[in-house]
Structure 1
């Protein structure tokens, strides 16, 4: 099968993870924004209008990763995160909370999407974790981050995270 303009599989995986994030965020009722430069391990931001708690217009920033590698076991996703990203995400003094989202996708691009006249199905699942307050590591290049498989990045999960932020609770 002839490929389109994106010939690098890593770029395709990144684009699919962007679509996953945008779909979840849109259905949850929030807007997304993208920093012009990712020099602080932030790929996307999520913004809510209003809010029900003392924090108005809550926001969330996230580092978005994707992989088709087999990195899951019965209870967790074990993602090898670059040390710079780990250190950037583990700090606890940010005005806007930060999380890591890892989207697991099928290995073959032809398996990523199915569609018909009545449905569009993106195959894959995102998982999230807050690294806020995690300890400094002695590792020199990567840190394997375990993410509970119960931490699926879903519409309901994102709404719960944003509601918590509105109430002053950091993820």
Structure 2
């Protein structure tokens, strides 16, 4: 059990750091978007690469922030039944969803994306827009990092579920503002 606890803590720490970093990228996205608007409509100047930049960073925020969101139990869920369940019932449902839905989907996504990422690196793919950002290959790599970080967090969720099923309910996967489940 100590190994599971250490694993959960390590993955939570990793995705916590990533979440904090990409949280600041959101501010950067807003500032760059504002700069694009001001340059275009006040100064009458446009830069395609600057437009690419805020779209790409915004995409990276969502893909790299997915593991952090899962760690904080922030993904959308229909709570009609789940909210009333005990910690053990929630752990069983989360374990099922993680092992049979999330992790296989991430494996397929990563497997399918890998050839495209490799080809993008081999050709040093750049934006299709004239004057756009170079380095599309870096953005495509973020998709593999998405699979990795969300997959690791999925394994941490599964480990939490196992801990709860073994009587360690303090490891229940819940939102920071959520009270412990009633028994």
* TM-score after normalising by structure 1: 0.25
Please state which structure has a larger fraction of its residues in helix. 2
Larger radius of gyration: 2
RCO comparison, higher one (Cα < 8 Å, 6+): 2
Please state which structure has a larger fraction of its residues in strand. 1
